[in-house]
Amino acid sequence: MKKSTLFSVILCHFIAASATLGIAPFFSIILDKNFQLSHSPLVGFLYVLPTLLTAIASPFWGEISDKINKKSALLRAQLGLSISFLVAAFSSGCLSLFILSLCLQGLLGGTLAAANAYLATTSHRRQLSQLLNLTQFSARAAFLIAPIIIGFFINLFSPLSVYFLLALITFISAVIIYFSIPKDKNKNKNYDHDKITPNSKPQSIDAAINILPYYCLLAASFIFNFSTVISFPYFITFLQAHFNVHSGLILGLLFGLPHAVYLISIFSLQKYRQQPSQQPWIFAGALILLAFSLYWQCITTGFLTLIILRIVMGAAITLGFISLNRMIATLKLQQQEGKVFGWLDSISKWAGVCAGLIAGFSYQFLGITAPFIISSFILLIAAFSLIIYLCKRQYTVTRSYHA
């Protein structure tokens, strides 16, 4: 793949992620200033609405892109976002129109799945895990940077006026896609003779034992995303209650610290080469590390210890995503990149929605540390279940090979 093509795809994904992730934290301001709804419980509902609809729509759009082409899917996602933002910009005083715009954003968006499917179609398997890390990197960067930039513009203009800017930049990104990336032909270099899949004969006992099937990767993606996101909604409240921290700067820095660790370390860590068969064990280790970092965050009383634990959490997230993407890269896609990555995107979105809902209920009924404890518990169960699965598989496969 040409570097210019890769740059265009990642840039356009970053623009889309920045637009969607950057405006969402300001929904409370939008409801207050444009719809005269202060402290409205609608904020939480509107926050998850696009994510929920993307989770529903992504598999459908993925299958459509397999039948047409992945470039068209990217164009559709960018133009869909542009249209939804334009509708939002004209919704002043009409809450129903604003909610409709969020529905359109969720149903017509899905740039991450479209970008990953395009990269999987046009790249070599050996590059794919690194390319998936790039799209994950751009999403994390947008998560940190976009609210700052959009917050700056909201101070200058009315909140809904910013939607005109978002509509413009996503339209420009669609133009960039149209003119700068080649049309894929669904002839993927991924279909090498050495591709390992659950349905193909493994090249070694090691591969037969440790290569995870697709449904296991979907479950791994759900658990990993769920357990990471569930601690987000009430982390600021947790800091204020347990550490008496009220500085917006310090609160923001501590919240973003794991993401900053990811952004700083991802490219260094992904350079270390391991065999595909090692990735499930690395992933299990990342789950255990993440579980302990989350649990100790909710019981520690030392501020410096908390900072160290946030750094450890960032390292665990980084290792988890690297190993997960390397396992995904071993799948034999069989010209179904859109479907595969559509479902992966859908699963991650469902994980986010479930995490937000359970975080809210657990905080309400069990206390402010409940999301951390629930996350740690689920991560440990998942990690040890994976280890038991791999050990049992090792015993079964070894016996069959030597029978």
| Residue-wise pLDDT tens digits, 165-180 | 999 999 999 999 999 9
Closest by CA position to 117, among listed 17, 271, 9, 19: 9
* pLDDT at residue 193 in the model: 38
pLDDT at 166: 96
Q: Give, as one character, the DSSP assignment of residue 277.
A: G
Query: What pLDDT score does 402 carry?
Result: 61
Contact 358, 64 (CB under 8 A): no
Tokens (6 digits) for 125: 């398997």
Secondary structure class of 304 (helix, strand, coil) = helix
Q: Is 93 exposed, middle or buried (0-12, 13-18, 19+ CB in 10 A)?
A: exposed
pLDDT score recorded for residue 269: 86
CB 181 within 8 A of CB 9: yes
Residue whose C-alpha is closest to residue 291's, from 357, 385, 393, 218: 385
* Residue found by looking up tokens 């995490």 in the block: 355
CA nearest neighbour of 49 among 369, 383, 356: 356
Cβ atoms of 296 and 309 closer than 8 Å: yes
- Spans of the chain below 50 pLDDT: 187-203
How far is Cα 21 from Cα 140, in angstroms, rounded to an integer? 10
The answer to whether the Cα torsion of 266, 133, 278, 273 is positive or negative is: negative
Cα-to-chain-centroid distance, residue 156: 30
CB atoms within 10 A of CB 180: 15
pLDDT at 122: 87
Q: What are the structural domains of the chain?
A: 3-180 (1.20.1250.20), 205-402 (1.20.1250.20)
Burial string for 212-223 (b: 16+ CB within 10 Å, else e) reads bebeebbbbbbb
Burial class (CB in 10 A: 0-12, 13-18, 19+), 354: middle
**Reported pTM:** 0.85
Matching residue, tokens 């990471």: 228
What is the DSSP track for 339-401? Answer: HHHHHHHHHHHHHHHHHHHHHHHHHHHH-TTHHHHHHHHHHHHHHHHHHHHHHHHHHHHHHHH
Q: In this structure, are residues 13 and 139 in contact, taking their beta carbons and an 8 Å threshold? A: yes
Q: How far apart are CA 22 and CA 157, in angstroms?
A: 15
Residue type, 155: N
List helix spans (H) across 90-213: 95-108, 111-122, 125-156, 159-180, 205-210
pLDDT of residue 195: 44
CB 330 within 8 A of CB 200: no
